[in-house]
């Protein structure tokens, strides 16, 4: 038995010496830093996007907005009503007896355009105004779509800077109403619902009354 045990003892001793070294080598390989982690610092820190200044607000209409070559008329009856829309009412200042603004509708060939303005109609609103300028893109039942902009100037909002909404604007009418109200009529500066309305106002032609013959 002695001659068998003698060769085994050196082998065990060699194994005990080799195992820690092997474990250390494997551990070093497992902890070796990767070329992807940790990530190297960026050469330049990302820039923070700044908010657009509120001064000098302008319409967000894109420069590449397609030009309207023809006003699409889906409803002839709606077009006939809208042809007589001559007034503007501004809900922020609308009170009984307030003077409405004027709306001008122009037809050049197959293209309809609108332009109008209303001044602050009540005491204390002097200098305030709202306006519309655009091209009628489509007239459908209870709907008039205008590509252009509507501006609201209120002295107490953004120090009197005109706040605008622009693009394809939807004016909606309900039932037998004579009013088309701007669906996108919330003021973009203070969130007030402006209730900007275009009013149908057919002017009745007054026919002259024939003179009565004098009785003899």
User: Max CA-CA distance within the chain?
Assistant: 169
* pLDDT class of 204 with cuts at 50, 70, 90: low
Give the burial class of 106: count Cβ atoms within 10 A of its Cβ; 0-12 exposed, 13-18 middle, 19 or more buried: exposed
**Residue linked to tokens 């002259």:** 208
* pLDDT class of 17 with cuts at 50, 70, 90: very low
What's the confidence (pLDDT) of residue 1? 46
CA angle 98, 103, 104 (to 5 degrees): 155
What tokens were used for 199?
A: 């009013």
Mean pLDDT value across residues 160-184? 93
Q: What is the spatial distance between Cα 122 and Cα 92, in angstroms, rounded to a whole number?
A: 10
* pLDDT class of 150 with cuts at 50, 70, 90: very high
Mean pLDDT over each residue of the chain, to the nearest integer: 76
Mean pLDDT value across residues 101-116? 95
Select, from the ranges 140-144, 174-178, 212-216, the one with the highest average predicted confidence (pLDDT): 140-144
Indicate whether this model's pTM tops 0.85.
no
Answer yes or no: are the C-beta atoms of 182 and 193 closer than 8 Å: no
Enumerate the domain spans of the chain. 72-200
Q: Indicate if the pLDDT at residue 14 is higher than 90.
A: no
Antiparallel, parallel or unpaired: β 85-90 and 129-140: unpaired
């Amino acid at each position: 038995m002695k001659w068998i045990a003698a060769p085994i003892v050196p082998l065990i001793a060699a194994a005990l010496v080799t195992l820690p070294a092997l474990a250390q080598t494997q551990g070093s390989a497992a902890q070796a830093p990767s070329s992807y982690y940790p990530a190297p610092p960026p050469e330049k820190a990302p820039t923070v996007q700044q908010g657009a200044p509120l001064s000098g607000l302008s319409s967000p209409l894109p420069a590449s907005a397609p030009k309207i070559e023809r006003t699409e008329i889906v409803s002839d009856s709606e077009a006939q009503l809208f042809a007589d829309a001559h007034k503007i009412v501004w809900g922020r200042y609308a009170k009984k007896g307030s003077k409405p603004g004027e709306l001008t509708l122009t037809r050049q060939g197959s293209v309809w355009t609108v332009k109008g303005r209303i001044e602050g109609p009540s005491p204390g609103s002097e200098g305030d105004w709202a306006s519309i300028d655009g091209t009628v893109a489509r007239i459908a039942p209870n709907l008039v779509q205008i590509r252009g902009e509507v501006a609201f100037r209120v002295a107490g909002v953004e120090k009197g800077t005109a706040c605008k909404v622009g693009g394809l604007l939807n004016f909606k009418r309900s039932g037998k109403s004579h009013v088309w109200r701007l669906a996108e009529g919330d003021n973009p500066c203070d969130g007030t619902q402006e209730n900007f309305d275009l009013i149908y106002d057919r002017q009745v032609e007054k026919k002259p009354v024939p003179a009565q013959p004098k009785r003899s």
